[in-house]
A and B are shown apart, each in its own frame.
Chain A
Amino acid sequence: NAGVTQTPKFQVLKTGQSMTLQCAQDMNHNSMYWYRQDPGMGLRLIYYSASEGTTDKGEVPNGYNVSRLNKREFSLRLESAAPSQTSVYFCASRDFRLRNTEAFFGQGTRLTVV
């Protein structure tokens, strides 16, 4: 059982380049999340999708777009990368119908924008 799979694990981008972070879960969860983690800031929510077909902004959505492709997949796109987007990105999923279930996290993507 793979759980939550994120790709890539590491990425270096030049300022202005674009890229998409991929996330897939095989637990039939309805809710998926993208967080970024920066030193001293904890996990900040970028976007989330409470269910297939819906997406909502979190605390720090600027500079990002998301696509809930289907129930399994939730991608995060950086259209024009900036050094301020250097961070570790985590995708997560949970079964919100059961509400009290924990979120399962991917291994993270370490992104550096130079």
Chain B
Amino acid sequence: AQKVTQAQTEISVVEKEDVTLDCVYETRDTTYYLFWYKQPPSGELVFLIRRNSFDEQNEISGRYSWNFQKSTSSFNFTITASQVVDSAVYFCALSESGGSTLGRLYFGRGTQLTVWP
């Protein structure tokens, strides 16, 4: 079973629309860390945000916001008023704190977001 599930393979929106990218994770650890990365067409991986399991406070950074809910094991990412430059593949990732998976970093399969002008 995948530890990080991004059920949306592709999303297309028109500029200025809001869009939410879903991420559901699975872990038995009580301490864990979640991340979002962006991969633009140029191919590099750009870090966006990290969140630890003890911090359920939602975060807003400009047009980006993240909603972390431990009750549903979700860490969703919303882009408000999307722009063409937001077109990219977005990855959610999980790092656990111990046991046999110590140090591993699990990625979801990514969501391809296309923003049309």
Contact = CB atoms under 8 A, between A and B. Distances in A.
Interface stretch (B58-66, B68-76, B100-108): B100-108
Given A42-B91, A99-B97, A100-B52, A92 B43 contact: no
B50 interface: yes
Interface string A93-110: 010100111111101100
Contacts of B44: 105, 107-108
Contacts of B6: 42
Contacts of A56: 103-104
B107 A42 contact: yes
Interface in B90-117: 91, 93, 95, 97, 102-110
B85 interface: no
Interface in B23-63: 33, 35, 43-45, 47, 50, 52
A64 to B, nearest CB: 16
Interface residues of B, number: 23
Interface residues of A, number: 28
B107 A101 contact: no
A107 B43 contact: yes
B104 A58 contact: yes
A76 B108 CA distance: 23
A86 to B, nearest CB: 16
Contacts of A35: 107
B12 interface: no
Given A100-B33, A102-B47, A102-B50, A94 B108 contact: no
26 contacts: A31-B103, A42-B6, A42-B91, A42-B110, A43-B110, A45-B107, A48-B104, A48-B105, A50-B103, A51-B103, A56-B104, A90-B45, A92-B45, A94-B105, A99-B33, A100-B33, A100-B95, A102-B35, A102-B47, A102-B50, A103-B47, A104-B47, A105-B44, A107-B43, A108-B43, A108-B44
Given A40-B9, A101-B50, A108-B43, 9 more contacts: A33-B105, A40-B109, A43-B91, A88-B43, A92-B105, A94-B105, A99-B95, A102-B50, A103-B35
